[in-house]
Chain A
């Protein structure tokens, strides 16, 4: 399946979904005016991806989002729901959230998301 790459902009994160490696990465701030418009292709790709991927393949999802506005966080939640579904269906999904140790907002955010879904959800701090 084709790799999904969306370049980072001021208000949107970089999307890099590599189907072959099973590595899905979202890095950057997210506050577009219309979050649904931005995340629609991302969610679509995810649906397709889960259809074609074999079971037993490890899927790692990496997050690094210093700021997410309200509408974006809704979309992220939708995304996490899809991951949760796939995980329940037998695929192995691991979520790693990397946050800058000075950004407590991001930590809070990540913790909220973790509470929201039932997944292997690792929150890892790094020093920049």
Chain B
């Protein structure tokens, strides 16, 4: 799956070059994408886990602890106040003093001093004793503040409390003028059914609201102390005092929070009308029927997560970058062998292209040289053909004839030759050693020698011609030194056709075939060739004489036809078969016979290459 990018400059071999391999890049890219996704998922997941854990913690613990802390503080304060009030209420001296109508001055002074001290030293805003007997309202500086009467609406609290039959009760008084809230702890003095007075202490809740401030979580968190009806009595934001809870939280939530008489805290989550989520916890103050409410927008609690968010993102990015580098580095190591293989492939291609180029050049060179050589040989063919007898010469010698002359390799070692000498004709068919160019060179020499030696003196003595030929040839070509390996010669048959229709034949390893009326006659000739080293210089060849008849056809062949391989067993054609051909195809027309010879041989060859130069001469003598 190599993506090949096309190189504008193709090289000679035709292959386009691989610019770069981008499957390695693809792998790296996919890996990075996977990694980024994995890390992003991890970050998001861990962020959301942390966030929900924080929220959970907030809801289940933080809110609770906050509220618990405050409420227990308030509780403590109120309990202390109650204790003090109860103590005052249970003080027998105060009881006595009130019963007596405050007549006892000594007692009165010490009591006034007591309540002053209580205020001063015990962190109360007010300490009071109100007598039901006299209606006197004694406050903590020892002064008589007021005399309560049923007519005064401000004093209604007194009479209500008196009749409440509760030893101790709380009363919240919101002072509009001072924007201040007081909690009065009223304790009944004397018999519950018929109390003689009320005593107690008063707390300024502002100090508590100061405490509230210290619990402020964020900008928009709120802490309220509300009564049963939902009026806000304490808030760290003074402007909220006196208002209703439902002014700040949804109606249904307020209802839920205030509705029941709760013993323990409840946690509520609601969505404000502006879309924000708020978490709210409410806790009853144990010693009262008030409730402490703490409310915080979700965004403030999760703010802590924001820092995590920021950090997580940065960490994630850093990790991604780091891992990208690591991975790139590793994948290089992995892709390296792959890349190397690709590069190797490229280099190999280059080498192959170069080699192919070289080969092509060499081939062209060789082809060129071969052409030159062939051309040269083709030309030499013309020269060889030039030494062969022309049609006219053959026409002048024979009544009828055919010649098959087929060199194996353009030129060859076979030749045929005719010469008229006075009233005789000398005909030769020769087979020089070798074929191709070396053979052709030999034929040139043989031709020259024949031309030279055949004259009147020997034109009727073929044996003599052969003897002379042998002598001259050996002198020319073969030196005595056999180690050089030059031992060339030729097989040749010479016919002399003389006056009186006489034919004299001598052959050097060549036969003369005569097909007459009475069948085939073969004159074998001598079994020595001409020119070879092992043939003596003075070797005497033999003449055979034959009287020519009308119908006689003469044949001479070199061994090329007879030794041509083919047939079923790849043997040579054979002398026997050749003689059979001669006997059986007496067609009267030599041209037709030529065809027969050619076809028979071709059929026998059956696709096999020509083994040797082939020459077959068939002729009829003129009358």
Query: A-side interface residues toward B, CB under 8 Å?
Result: 29, 31, 36, 66-67, 69-71, 74, 100, 102-106, 108, 112, 115, 128
B571 near A67 with CB under 8 A, answer yes
Given contact pairs A105-B562, A112-B527, a sample of 13 additional A-B residue pairs in the complex whose CB atoms are under 8 Å apart:
A29-B570, A66-B569, A66-B572, A67-B563, A67-B571, A67-B572, A70-B433, A71-B434, A74-B487, A103-B572, A104-B575, A105-B572, A106-B572
The CA of A103 and the CA of B565, in the complex, are separated in Å by 11
Select B569's contact among A71, A104, A112, A128, beta carbons within 8 Å.
A128
* B611 interfacial by beta-carbon distance below 8 Å: yes
Given known A-B contacts A70-B433, A102-B569, A108 and B575 have beta carbons under 8 A apart: yes
Distance (Å) between the CB of A35 and the closest chain B CB? 10
For the complex, is B574 an interface residue (Cβ under 8 Å from A)? yes
Binary CB contact string for chain B from 563 to 585 against chain A (1 if under 8 A, 0 otherwise): 10100011111111000000000
The reply to whether B611 and A102 form a contact with Cβ atoms under 8 Å apart is: no
Given A31-B611, A36-B485, A67-B563, A105 contacting B571 (CB threshold 8 A): yes
Contact of B570 with A66 in the complex, beta carbons under 8 Å: yes
Q: How many whole Å from A53's CB to the nearest CB in chain B? A: 26
Measured between C-beta atoms, what is the minimum distance from B499 to chain A in Å? 36
Nearest-Cβ distance from residue B474 to partner chain A, whole angstroms: 16
What distance in Å separates the Cβ of B558 from its nearest Cβ neighbour in chain A?
A: 11
Contact B575 A102, beta carbon cutoff 8 Å: no
Interface size class of B (residues with CB under 8 A): 10 to 19
In angstroms, how far is the closest chain B Cβ from the Cβ of A65?
Answer: 11
Q: How far is the CA of A71 from the CA of B573 in the complex (A)?
A: 20
Which residues in A have their C-beta under 8 angstroms from that of B573? 105
**CB <8 Å contact, B433 and A103:** no
Determine the distance from Cα of A112 to Cα of B491 in the docked complex, in whole angstroms. 15
* A66 with B571: CB separation less than 8 A: yes
Tally A-B pairs: CB < 8 A: 43
B-side residues, CB < 8 A to A, are 433-434, 485, 487, 527, 562-563, 565, 569-576, 611-612
What separation, in Å, do the CA atoms of A127 and B577 have in the docked complex?
A: 18
Contact call A105/B563, Cβ cutoff below 8 A: yes
Measured between C-beta atoms, what is the minimum distance from B528 to chain A in Å? 11
Q: Which residues of B contact A67 (CB under 8 A)?
A: 563, 565, 571-572, 611
> Inside 8 A of A103's CB, which chain B residues have their CB?
569, 571-572, 574
CB distance from B413 to the nearest CB of A (A): 10
Contact between B571 and A100, CB atoms less than 8 A apart: yes
> Could you list 18 examples of A-B contacts with CB < 8 Å?
A29-B565, A29-B570, A67-B563, A67-B565, A67-B611, A69-B612, A70-B433, A70-B434, A71-B433, A100-B571, A102-B569, A102-B571, A104-B574, A105-B571, A105-B572, A105-B573, A106-B572, A115-B527
The chain B residue sitting closest to A77, CB to CB, is: B534
In the complex, what residues of A have CB within 8 A of residue B563's CB? Answer: 67, 105
Give the CA-CA distance A73 to B487 in the complex, in Å: 12
Q: How far is the CA of A102 from the CA of B573 in the complex (A)?
A: 10
CA distance A102 to B487 in the complex (A): 32
Most chain B beta-carbon neighbours within 10 Å: one of A105, A115, A128? A105
Q: Which residues of B contact A69 (CB under 8 A)?
A: 612
Q: How far is the CA of A82 from the CA of B571 in the complex (A)?
A: 28
B576 and A104 contacting across the interface, CB-CB below 8 Å: yes
Shortest Cβ-Cβ A-B pairs, 5 listed: A105-B572, A103-B571, A104-B574, A104-B576, A105-B574
User: Which residue of the partner chain A has the closest CB to B575?
Assistant: A104
Closest residue of A by beta carbon distance from B485: A36
